[in-house]
Amino acid sequence: MDKKYIVCGKIFDGINETLEENVNILVEGKYITAVGKNLKRPRDAEIIDLSHLTVTPGLIDAHVHFDFKDTRELSTYAFTDSDEMKTLNTVYCATKSLEGGFTTVRTMGSAFVGFGQIDAKRAIDRGMITASRLIVAPHALNISGGHWDFSQHVATNPFLSELMERAYVSVGNGVDWCKTIVRKQMKYGADFIKIMAAGGFSSPNDSPVNPQFDEEEVKAIVETTNSYGSYVAAHAYTAEAIEKLINLGVHEIEHGSLLKESTAELMEEKGVSFVCTMTPYEDVIQNDQEKLAQKSIYFKEKLRLYGKQLIESREIIKDMIMQRKVLMGYGSDIVAVYNNYDCWIEFKCWRDNGIPALRTLVAATSDNAKIIRRPDLGSIEPGKIADIAGWSSDILEDHEALRICDFVMKEGKIVKQNFN
């Protein structure tokens, strides 16, 4: 069996918020088999010298949209790119995110008509393509006219809008449809179910304070998903929407950018996980007018309209992260301004908001592994899959430390080595 003996400079194990020195790692095949300061090197093991780097587990981004690939907004690609191109976009983005040290990403619904993102996942899993591991929700389920109903972009032409809505399998209404679409998502390989349970900032004809899906529809989705042993992650913003979803059995909340103290308390009580996605709202939090100007008219208007609430809720979210009473995940959710494979941007956002570097990295490693239900990932421990990254930048002090990754190993294989 192929053996590698990794000599680390500093190491963050994904669990403890400390950097250790003089720690070595033994990898055999695709697994980590030993970690320690006085670790003996097997004579037949290849030495990988990372003594000049800070070593971390391979990072996990729990909220990406990879069916488009640059700074244009997702709505553009929903119209202009075929499913085949969206599959290629997904693969391209996943290769770029792997180069950035993110060995696993979770795709949170897409603009596919069909199931091309599942094919991208399978191709990567089969070793046909070297890219980030994909955890996939093929579509984000939503109602007619909802946040992920791309036909609302042409609602001024009802004939064309109706044709488009019928083409997207993830748009529908009623309890029976909700049960059926979950079954079909699972049939074709979904890892979990994503629902758009509220309007959003980036869509033209709804609002982040608008609830979407009624109680019976949400119940049908949750119960059907649970019957497969899977879970529902829900896009929602306000305290009212989130608290209703949690009481209906939703396992995980995405965004939550307009929540209240009562929401945090309910999340803690019910054991709900939370991926807070700071990146899309950061231009308001930091008053970055240059970045705000790059967004669509309706995105800018909503960010300005809810700016005060976003700032107030951000303080609650920061406290939730630091208190660790709720399982908090790291998710970039890039849909505008940046390349959407630039998963490192979320690290900068957490750091700019005063979250310590290693607390942020816990969210991007072991905590995200729990959220995506992959206990074999997220930490440098014996028995875990050998996903490992190395960084020459100052992880503790540099808010842009994750911009460039110098070493990447996925499943025991070196896929990037940016040094001589």
pLDDT band at 71 (very low <50, low <70, confident <90, very high): low
- Segment of 107-111, 145-149, 330-334 carrying the highest mean pLDDT: 330-334
The predicted-structure confidence for 10-22, as pLDDT tens digits, reads as follows: 999 999 999 999 9
pLDDT band at 230 (very low <50, low <70, confident <90, very high): very high
The predicted-structure confidence for 33-53, as pLDDT tens digits, reads as follows: 999 998 999 999 999 999 999
The predicted-structure confidence for 355-366, as pLDDT tens digits, reads as follows: 999 999 999 999
What letter would DSSP give residue 256? E
Domain match, 124 and 21 both: no
Distance of alpha carbon 301 from alpha carbon 120, whole angstroms = 35
| pLDDT value for 168 | 80
Domain match, 193 and 65 both: yes
* Greater pLDDT, 302 or 380: 380
Q: Does 263 score more than 90 pLDDT?
A: yes
pLDDT band at 411 (very low <50, low <70, confident <90, very high): very high
**Interval 350-376 mean pLDDT:** 98
Distance of alpha carbon 134 from alpha carbon 148, whole angstroms = 21
Helix (H) or strand (E) holding 92: helix 83-99
Domain match, 114 and 101 both: yes
Domain match, 335 and 397 both: no
Q: Does 293 score more than 90 pLDDT?
A: no
Q: How many domains does the chain have?
A: 2
Domain match, 117 and 257 both: yes
The residues pairing with 61 across neighbouring beta strands, listed in sequence order, are 105
> Which residue segment(s) compose the domain that 410 sits in?
3-57+379-417
**Interval 372-383 mean pLDDT:** 98
Kindly report the CATH number assigned to the domain that includes residue 49.
2.30.40.10
What letter would DSSP give residue 261? H
**Interval 291-305 mean pLDDT:** 86
Distance of alpha carbon 202 from alpha carbon 295, whole angstroms = 9
Q: Which of 197-211, 265-279, 306-320, 385-399 has the lowest mean pLDDT?
A: 197-211
Domain match, 253 and 385 both: no
What the block records as the tokens of 30 is: 């695709």
| pLDDT value for 345 | 97
The predicted-structure confidence for 79-91, as pLDDT tens digits, reads as follows: 788 999 999 999 9
Distance of alpha carbon 317 from alpha carbon 267, whole angstroms = 12
| pLDDT value for 141 | 96
Domain match, 220 and 357 both: yes
Domain match, 177 and 253 both: yes
| pLDDT value for 77 | 74
**Interval 80-109 mean pLDDT:** 95
CA 388 vs CA 26, 51, 252, 260, 392: distances in Å: 12, 14, 27, 37, 14
For residues 395, 400, 403 and 408, what is the CA-based torsion angle, rounded to 10 degrees? 10
> Residue 88, class by beta-carbon neighbours within 10 Å (0-12 exposed, 13-18 middle, 19+ buried)?
middle
Domain match, 408 and 319 both: no
Phi and psi torsions of 306, nearest 5°: -105, 15
Q: Which of 159-163, 218-222, 348-352 has the lowest mean pLDDT?
A: 159-163
**Interval 330-348 mean pLDDT:** 94
pLDDT band at 75 (very low <50, low <70, confident <90, very high): low
Q: Does 25 score more than 90 pLDDT?
A: yes
Contact between residue 328 and residue 274 where contact means Cβ atoms under 8 Å apart: yes
| pLDDT value for 158 | 85
| pLDDT value for 420 | 58
What letter would DSSP give residue 42? P
Domain match, 247 and 340 both: yes
CA angle at 116 for the pair 115 and 122, rounded to the nearest 5°: 100
Q: What is the pTM of this model?
A: 0.96
The predicted-structure confidence for 324-337, as pLDDT tens digits, reads as follows: 999 999 999 998 88
Of 247, 67, 250, 271, the closest CA to residue 150 belongs to 67
The predicted-structure confidence for 182-225, as pLDDT tens digits, reads as follows: 999 999 999 999 999 999 888 888 889 989 999 999 999 999 99
Q: Does 27 score more than 90 pLDDT?
A: yes
Domain match, 400 and 337 both: no
| pLDDT value for 68 | 85
| pLDDT value for 296 | 83
- 70-82 burial: b if 16+ Cβ within 10 Å, else e: eeebbbebbeebe
pLDDT band at 226 (very low <50, low <70, confident <90, very high): very high
* Greater pLDDT, 66 or 164: 66
Contact between residue 7 and residue 40 where contact means Cβ atoms under 8 Å apart: no
Domain match, 98 and 247 both: yes
SS3 of 279, please?
helix
Distance of alpha carbon 86 from alpha carbon 418, whole angstroms = 29
